[in-house]
Amino acid sequence: MPVKKQYAVIGLGRFGTSVARKLHEAGQEVLGIDVIEERVEDAEPYVTHAVVADSTEEKALSSIGIRNFDCVIVAIGNDMQASILTVSILKEMGIKKIITKAIGKRHGKVLEKVGADWIIYPERDMGERVANQLLSPNMLNYIELSQEHSIEEIMIPSKMAEKNLRELDIRAKYQVSVIAIVRGKEIIISPSPDQLLYEKDILVMIGRREDLAKFANIE
Ligand code: ADP
């Protein structure tokens, strides 16, 4: 269980509610804030506390005690002005970690200028994920490390089952490295060359994205 932290989520639409709910389920303390009372009521089962407030008013944020929160997530949807104003007020108040969602590039740029620490582009990122999944059906999940490199979870090609890593010589043949094997509930970290692979194993691999894509497309 991660260390218990205090989170505030401003804007309880679909995005904000799902962030709040997940954090709350993980045992974290979550304050939900929305300007619409009905949204606040709907979110009540999924948060520790929920309050009605307009985050573009500094006084309202102050009286909630927003300064005491470790991390504030600004999940205001289409009202760009409200989201930018909220982030700049939070920054001025000295909030250490401000996470926010942007609806587009220009919105994101402004959020960066006013001091957001992490900007999320949900539609763009989800679209990329779907496309990547379609391009490499054996790829289950990935983390981008840079423009060129990533860590990916890839289903083992069936022809590699019942062979060990030395025989398969994956690093030399595909220029990618296996850093772990997920086998059901078991995880084998830094597998040895003698490690046998089985059908349904998932390989956690690191490498250049194009090399990983080739590996993920082996029949
Ligand atoms: P989503 O795409 O995540 O469903 P929405 O636009 O539906 O996004 O949700 C954004 C939420 O943010 C709405 O519930 C809205 O009432 C809330 N919101 C907008 N402006 C403010 C504000 N100034 N203060 C607090 N909440 C706000």
| Domains in the chain: boundaries | 6-120, 125-216
Angle, helices 105-114/80-92, rounded to nearest 10 degrees: 20
- The reply to whether ligand 1 has any atom less than 6 angstroms from the CB of 15 is yes
pLDDT beneath 50: ranges in the chain? none
pLDDT for the residue 62: 97
Q: Which fold has domain 6-120?
A: Rossmann fold (3.40.50)
| Ligand 1 site, residue 121, Cβ cutoff 6 A | no
Amino acid sitting at position 149: H
**Ligand 1 midpoint to CA 20 (Å):** 13
The pTM (predicted TM-score) of the whole model is 0.80
CA of 110 to the centre of ligand 1 (A): 18
Cα separation of 57 and 202, whole Å? 49
Please determine, for the modelled complex, whether the ipTM score is greater than 0.90. yes
- Identify the residue whose tokens are 């962030």: 19
Q: Are 6-120 and 125-216 the same fold in CATH?
A: no
Class (C level, CATH) for 125-216 = alpha beta
